[in-house]
Structure 1
Amino acid sequence: MRAALIPLALTLATPALADEVWTTPFGDAVYQADVGDTTILTVPQPDGVMRVYIPGLAGNFDNRGTHSGYWIGSGEGFCPASLTGIDGTGSRQWGEVILSFDRPAFPTGWTLVAGDCFAPPFWTIRGEARTGG
């Protein structure tokens, strides 16, 4: 039974296949993992770290473009309800994101546009690919 669960566990939460790190104004953003078809990035903010969830991006390392998703922050938040991500992270600090890569494959930068709660995305974060050490 345990042997049958190992392959299942490996497909549910796998680390990113690439060491992808981007420099942002608040520190390094990191490609953390793929969970199912969703990629999880961590992006530092002045008041903590936001986890960015991009459904449909998992395993896509060479055909990236513009992708929609959501973010969940590490603070208490002010949204009217809590949102829980695919990895179990939850908060009342969340919103919609649009992540646009400059080129289809790493190393490439990106622009993240995010909104708060149900508001459309309106604030931006720029990530520049960090390569070599």
Structure 2
Amino acid sequence: MLVIDDVEEVRYSLAATLIRERIDVVEAGNGMDALLLLEHERFDAIITDVWMPKLDGVELIRLLRAADDDTVIVAISGGAPNAPINFSMALAETWGADATFVKPFDNEDMIAHIRRLWDEKAAG
């Protein structure tokens, strides 16, 4: 799973939970670094912050969906100075996020939700 967030503590917390669940994790600090990783590796799921420097999560989601990438994508956000949280989440969903979570969130709940999304995609 690829975890993308410009806040190291968020990446660390998610990675620690995923590792406990026996899920391999790769981390990126922004969307541009994530794109470089995605050139060489495919992930079963991507968790991306919505607002980051260099390339934000919304643009990353848009690029992936435009390339017909059907990877499970979960957008996370604590909001932005000029963007209410509901707007951030709606924007991520509009461009193709499979689910959204508002920071702070329960890591285990998110992982359970991602597993359900994996099952739905596998069945469908």
The two structures share one fold, judged by TM-score above 0.5: no
TM-score (norm 1): 0.29
- Higher strand proportion: 1
Q: Which has the bigger relative contact order, CA under 8 A and spacing at least 6?
A: 2
